[in-house]
Amino acid sequence: MRLQVRYPVGTGTLVLRTARDWDHDIAPVEATPDGAVFELAFDTPFLALKPCLRRGDTLHYSIGDNYVLTAHEPDPEIWPAFFASPRGEVSPLLHFESAGRAHAVRVYTPPGYAENTLRTFPVLYMQDGRNLFFPDEAFGGREWRVDETMDRLDQMNSVRKVIVVGVAPHDRMRDYTAPGYEAYGAFLTRTLKPAIDAGWRTRPGPDSTVVSGSSLGGVVSLHLAWRHPEVFGGAMCLSSTFGFQDDLFARLETEPRPPIRVYLDSGWPRDNYDETNAMRDLLVARGFTLGDDLLAFSFPEGTHHETSWADRLHVPFQFFFGRAWAASRGTRPRLT
């Protein structure tokens, strides 16, 4: 296996330490302008390892838990950091305005973002931005724990690192329902996303851009991906109030199907369970395939509030950004 470790080395040398002998340096077989290449032979199904940066007599281990490669990963890449915090960072409140409508935004950047400047990142745009990161600004004091969940999945090496943009609505009912969600979509696609792509190291294409929300936020997320597939390649829709004040059922029956992926879920009972199942079946009728470009789950005793959404948020994160999904399609897994 050829393993690429990408890092702006400067002064120093990249080496590996592995579980075969944590005291032994494995030297690269090739130095590259953006890191080094290592060759590994496997005599076990998986191998734990750490990229290390050697500067003189000092050895710096990469932050966070061990990386674990399996024997059949297709040419993996690792993007380590050595001096950063193992936790991601959430920005101060940022303010964006379009057509007289102001939106407060926070941006989560993953561990090592500022240090390993070679890396670019997928982006997840999430509705109800004030409920995502901090209990003191969330509805009822209950936040989604987005940063904690992203950090933990990164520790597990189960997802690619992701930038998360939490967007607070100007007027939730107007922004997330018909016809107002057309203007809100224009704000996201024409004002906010260009600003994020200009100010952060993003991968701007639709295959790396996902939109997400719960309840009415799930409705507008599916609307945005369906209406703007050139921008958003996927939608996460949790406990969505489909059919309450939107035209999605009628549109999805007749409009051309865009090349997007969709995640649906609901709790049971009384958590938009029937509405979600109806949307699932409509998407299947339109050619979506469960387990491929569509996932749909029902959570017994799941309820319609932030704590329940926080508890199951790791599932759509792994669907859209997980190593397992990438490996099943033969695409290169990025471990950090």
Q: Distance (Å, rounded) from C-alpha 213 to C-alpha 219?
A: 8
Q: Same structural domain for residues 244 and 278?
A: yes
Give me the pLDDT at residue 333, please. Answer: 46
Q: Same structural domain for residues 37 and 125?
A: no
Q: Distance (Å, rounded) from C-alpha 321 to C-alpha 234?
A: 11
Q: Same structural domain for residues 12 and 37?
A: yes
Q: Same structural domain for residues 146 and 67?
A: no
Residue 197, token pair as written in the block: 């792509």
Q: Same structural domain for residues 252 and 310?
A: yes
* CATH number of the domain enclosing 71: 2.60.40.10
Task: Determine the residue type at 189.
Answer: T
Residue at which a domain ends, from 78, 103, 134: 78
What is the tally of structural domains in the chain? Answer: 2
Residues 125/209, Cβ–Cβ less than 8 Å: yes
H or E segment to which residue 234 belongs: strand 234-238
Q: Which residues pair with 4 in a beta bridge?
A: 37, 77
Q: Distance (Å, rounded) from C-alpha 214 to C-alpha 173?
A: 13
Task: Note if the bond before 74 is cis, omega within 30 degrees.
Answer: no
Residue at which a domain ends, from 53, 78, 103: 78
DSSP 169-216: -SSHHHHHSTTTHHHHHHHIIIIIHHHHHHHS-B--SGGGEEEEEETH
Query: Which residues are CB-contacts of 187 (< 8 A; sequence separation ≥ 6)?
Result: 96, 98, 99, 101, 103
Domain presence at residue 235? yes
Give me the pLDDT at residue 335, please. Answer: 47
Residues 161/324, Cβ–Cβ less than 8 Å: no
- HEC string of 236-297 equals EEECCCCCCCCCHHHHHHHCCCCCCEEEEEEEECCECHHHHHHHHHHHHHCCCCECCCEEEE
Query: Which residues are CB-contacts of 239 (< 8 A; sequence separation ≥ 6)?
Result: 214, 215, 218, 265, 266, 267, 271, 272, 276, 302, 304, 308, 309
Crossing angle of the two packed helices 314-321 and 146-155, in degrees rounded to 10: 60
Give me the pLDDT at residue 98, please. Answer: 83
Task: Determine the residue type at 48.
Answer: A
* CATH number of the domain enclosing 158: 3.40.50.1820
Place of tokens 């061990």: 66
Tell me how many helices (H) and strands (E) the chain has.
10, 18
Residue at which a domain ends, from 10, 43, 78: 78
Domain presence at residue 12? yes
Q: Distance (Å, rounded) from C-alpha 8 to C-alpha 284?
A: 45
What pTM does this model have?
A: 0.95
pLDDT in tens, the chain (336 residues): 999 999 998 879 999 999 999 999 999 999 999 999 999 999 999 999 999 999 989 999 999 999 999 999 888 999 999 999 999 999 999 999 988 889 999 999 999 999 999 999 999 999 999 999 999 999 999 999 999 999 999 999 999 999 999 999 999 999 999 999 999 999 999 999 999 999 999 999 999 999 999 999 999 999 999 999 999 999 999 999 999 999 999 999 999 999 999 999 999 998 999 999 999 999 999 999 999 999 999 999 999 999 999 999 999 999 999 976 555 555 554 545
Q: Same structural domain for residues 42 and 130?
A: no
Q: Which residues pair with 268 in a beta bridge?
A: 300
Q: Same structural domain for residues 117 and 71?
A: no
Q: Helix, strand or coil for residue 106? A: strand
Residues 336/161, Cβ–Cβ less than 8 Å: yes
Domain hosting 149: range is 89-328
Q: Same structural domain for residues 9 and 100?
A: no
Domain presence at residue 28? yes
Q: Same structural domain for residues 153 and 293?
A: yes
Residues 143/106, Cβ–Cβ less than 8 Å: no
